[in-house]
Amino acid sequence: MACIFCDIVDGRAPASRVLDEPDLIAFMDIYPWRPGHVLVVPRVHAVRVDELPPAAAAALLGAGARIAAALRAGPLPCDDVHYLVNDGPAAAQTVPHVHLHVVPRVRGDLWRLGARLVQQPVRRALGAVPREILDRQAEALRAGLPRPNAP
């Protein structure tokens, strides 16, 4: 079955990678809800969280928390983050491979987030964020990542 996230995991499709670990990878969303929006994706293909090996499921949130720390420390605006998993097609999952969204938020930005979500179909039609911008953002986040076992 063709799966764009499996293609990214295996290096057959490009991505601006933030993390590359045994259980998962993380990369910049090409249609970000807010600048700095990262997707954390388990290496194993599964549509829903309950289909993942428990260790792979647990690793998602730990990685997300490290990315959140890097977002807060990095150059893009970020006070806090949303962690979001759309767990199956009836829950608005658009790529049928488990992924954790880590979306930077800034106090008072609700209207910007809402406008961005309403504009998503148009943004998708216009094309992805240029790769060089996503690569720069990923590089900044990698530089700000805490070590895996740091408190």
- Closest distance of CB 8 from Zn ion, Å: 9
Strand, coil or helix: 105? strand
Choosing from 23, 43, 44, 45, the residue that interacts with Zn ion (CB under 5 A) is 45
User: What does the chain come to in residues?
Assistant: 151
Instruction: Report the half-sphere exposure of 89 (CA within 13 A, side-chain side).
Output: 1
Minimum CB distance to Zn ion, residue 1 (Å): 8
Q: Write down the residue that tokens 């309950």 correspond to.
A: 50
**Of the listed 37, 97, 99, 101, which one is catalytic?**
99
Using CB positions, name the residue nearest to Zn ion: 3
Is 99 an interacting residue with respect to Zn ion (CB under 5 A)?
A: no
Given candidates 97, 99, 101, 116, which one binds Zn ion under the rule CB under 5 A?
Answer: 97
Query: Over 19-56, what HEC string results?
Result: EECCCEEEEECCCCCCCCCEEEEECCCCCCHHHCCHHH
Contact status: 142 vs Zn ion (CB under 5 A): no
Binding Zn ion by CB under 5 A: which of 6, 44, 49, 69? Answer: 6
Please indicate whether residue 101 is annotated as part of the active site.
Answer: no
* Residue with token string 């990698």: 142
Contact by Cβ (8 Å): 15, 27: yes
Task: Spell out, one character per residue from 47 to 86, where the chain touches Zn ion: x when CB under 5 A holds, - when not.
Answer: ----------------------------------------
Is residue 76 a contact partner of residue 104, using CB atoms and an 8 Å limit? Answer: yes
Residues at the interface with Zn ion (CB under 5 A): 3, 5-6, 45, 97
